[in-house]
Amino acid sequence: MKAFLILEDGTVFTGTSIGSRREVISEVVFNTSMTGYLEVLTDPSYSGQAVCMTYPLIGNYGVCGDDQESLRPWLDGYIVRELSRMPSNFRSQDTIQRFLKRYDIPGIAGIDTRALTRKLRESGTMNGMITTDENFRLEEVLPKIKSYRTGNEVELVTRSEPEFYPAGMQESCIPDGHAMAVREVPADWEGNGQGRQGKKLRVALLDLGVKENIIRSLQKRGCDVTVYPAWTSAEEILGTHPDGIMLTNGPGDPKDCPNEIREIRKLYESDTPIFAICLGHQLMALATGSDTKKMKYGHRGGNHPVRDLSTGRVYITSQNHGYMVDTDTVDPSVAVPAYVNVNDQTNEGLKYLNKNIFTVQFHPEASPGPRDSGYLFDRFIEMMGGNK
């Protein structure tokens, strides 16, 4: 069946429908990862967006539930050049086509994704519609496409109640990819900051749209992790006396999260070590008086070079964001830039002064992407008094 991608500037791409046949209007972005398409599909940070994959062949190794970064896909639509309908991989449990249909995600294949990516780079991120209606009229749909705005996507993707992940337990989704065990917070998790049974570090993680590998990265380093919904108060988190606090990635405009910003300010004012990634990085900046702004087309993919300003070393990183911290608005008595993007010199991290806090814009947990910056989790462990 034919499908159409209609951009807000009137450009129309014609291809083949994949996944659900429902019509969707969304923000269209592109991702430059060569592998890891299932991780992209299940990354909550893509809520409210339709993702164009620049790599020309998608689906060739199928779907494996263990690779999912959450229980379901969160993006609004999927755009590919060629969709493999016969995956070849001993781990494969399903095809992308069936996966998209199962979760009612519409998509389009067979379009010139290079031309689409070039347009988004030159004109900037824009809204678009995916439809199978061959009788669409531009004069009717363009006003709807142009008026689309994302809301507070964090409210959609965060979990509804706290969940506990014990140290060392690193499974994510069960093999069929449909469910994951919900773990209740144990009664002895609250205490004096010495870790459960006096042995393990305890991390309170604020779920702004967390990828599961952030949790796994902490578990395998000996941390008990309690994951809290985004709306959790600072008083509730600090009342458990965690050894450290993690602020995670997530979707949307950080300025759409005023309640989270208010509570993060309270976390900042505590003496608890804090590590923040992506959206968490932006929210901490806003909570401490800095500003953020939207990028022309953002950074999404697994090949973004970032320089550590303290050592000069360059890391290849995984990224997924459309907003950035404006370093011109950062109070130098509060924080200083710690990392910078080599390509466009945008901010990639802040070190907070007189606080045990550091934040990064990129994804040290990868999935997908290179693991060059995974050492940042070790730094967080040391901040909490571990590895001694």
pLDDT digit string (tens) for 253-298? 999 999 999 999 999 999 999 999 999 999 999 999 999 999 999 9
Residue percentage of the chain with pLDDT more than 90: 89
- pTM, 2 dp: 0.92
Residue 45 annotated as part of some ligand binding site: yes
For residues 324 and 201, give the distance between their C-alpha atoms in angstroms, rounded to a whole number.
31
Catalytic residue among 278, 281, 299, 348: 278
- Mean pLDDT (whole number) for 311-331: 97
Domain ranges, ordered by start, for the chain: 2-149, 154-383
137-188 tens-digit pLDDT = 999 999 999 999 988 899 999 999 999 999 986 654 433 433 344 455 555 5
| Annotated binding-site residue? 376 | no
Q: Which residue has the higher pLDDT, 347 or 173?
A: 347
CATH architecture of the domain with range 154-383 = 3-Layer(aba) Sandwich (3.40)
Give domain 2-149's CATH architecture: 3-Layer(bba) Sandwich (3.50)
Of the listed ranges 112-121, 196-205, 210-219, 362-371, the least confidently predicted one is 196-205
Report the pLDDT value the prediction gives residue 85, as an integer from 0 to 100: 87
The 3-state DSSP class for residue 262 equals helix
Rounded alpha-carbon distances, angstroms, from residue 144 to 1, 6, 7, 83: 24, 11, 11, 29
Q: Is the pLDDT of residue 10 over 60?
A: yes
Beta partners for residue 130, in sequence order: 5, 24
pLDDT number for residue 189: 46
173: annotated active-site residue: no
Laid out side by side, the sheet with 357-360 consists of 163-165, 223-229, 201-207, 244-247, 274-277, 357-360, 347-352, 335-341, 291-308, 314-326
Assess whether 278 carries a catalytic annotation.
yes
Q: Is 282 annotated as a binding residue?
A: yes
Residue 193 is assigned to a ligand binding site: no
What the block records as the tokens of 110 is 């067979």
Give the integer Cα–Cα distance in Å for 145 and 147.
6
Q: Of 163, 260, 348, 365, which is the active-site residue?
A: 365
